[in-house]
Amino acid sequence: MQRRKVRRWAQLCPPAIMAAAVLGGFAVQAQELPTNARLREPAEWMALAQALRGAARRLTRDECQGLLDEFTDISSQPLRAALEAQAMDVKENLDRVLFYDASADACQEQMLAGATGAGSRVIRVCGRRFARTVTESSSHAEAIVIHEMLHSLGLGENPPASDYITSRVMERCGN
């Protein structure tokens, strides 16, 4: 299939069907495929899907969920309070965050991913760079997903610094 046709197909196809086609002979349960990953390129989508699954596994650990008590939102409430107010657990919150392609301008700034603001459900991902990070260090990519999910719950930035947030995620959620 020509590259142009593949791109058009990827834009029209629901992510779960696209992933099943990309995976070919691999047996994957439909419920394992994230529906909140909205990247255009299939390889980048698959890398994000891998990082989302890994982040979800890490978030099942009590130590990792301790981040919800350690960090606060812009009104100084623990992030856990935001989850409780929405009557959902951390996995449900991760599933409701939407991951889209970032603009070319944002990706020139060396970012991997970023929320549009504290409390936003939309995360922008620099797909090519993020996919490379998944290959080089899946634990770092998973930490970035968790980092951005914390922003979706209301965590601001600067303070705390972005590097500090990621380092705390790595420490609490494992390398």
The owner of tokens 């968790």 is: 146
Within a domain: residue 48? yes
Residue 22 lies in a domain: no
Is 7 inside any structural domain? Answer: no
Using the predicted structure, report yes or no on whether residue 85 has a pLDDT greater than 50: yes
What is the mean predicted confidence (pLDDT) over 119-140?
94
- Of 138 and 115, the one with more pLDDT: 138
Residue burial 48-57, b: 16+ Cβ < 10 Å; e: rest: bbbbbbbbbe
Residue 101, domain member (yes or no):
yes
* Residue 44: per-residue pLDDT: 95
In b/e form, how buried is each residue of 82-105, taking b as 16+ CB within 10 angstroms? bbeeeeeebeebbeebebbbbeee
Residue 78 located in a structural domain: yes
Residue 80 lies in a domain: yes
Decide: 169 and 67 in contact? Cβ < 8 Å. yes
Handedness of CA 163, 169, 174, 175 (dihedral sign): negative
Q: Region 77-98: what's the mean pLDDT?
A: 95
- Does the pLDDT at position 93 exceed 90? yes
Residues 166, 133: contact at Cβ < 8 Å?
no
Q: Using one digit for the tens of pLDDT, what is the confidence trace for 4-60? A: 544 444 454 555 545 444 554 344 455 467 899 999 999 999 999 999 999 999 999
| Number of Cβ within a 10 Å radius of residue 76 | 6
Taking the C-alpha atoms of residue 48 and residue 99, their distance in angstroms, rounded to an integer, is 9
Report how far residue 102's alpha carbon sits from residue 123's, in angstroms, rounded to the nearest whole number: 8
Q: Is there a domain that residue 24 lies in?
A: no
pLDDT value of position 8 = 47
Rounded to the nearest integer, the mean pLDDT of the chain is: 85
Q: Note down the domain range covering 153.
A: 36-173
Residue 136 has a pLDDT of 97
Q: Is 20 exposed, middle or buried (0-12, 13-18, 19+ CB in 10 A)?
A: middle
pLDDT of residue 37: 94
> How many domains does the chain fold into?
1
pLDDT of amino acid 144: 96
Asked if residue 15 belongs to a domain, the reply is no
Provide the pLDDT for residue 61.
Answer: 97
The model carries a pTM of: 0.82
Share of the chain above pLDDT 70, in %: 80
pLDDT exceeds cutoff 70 at 65? yes
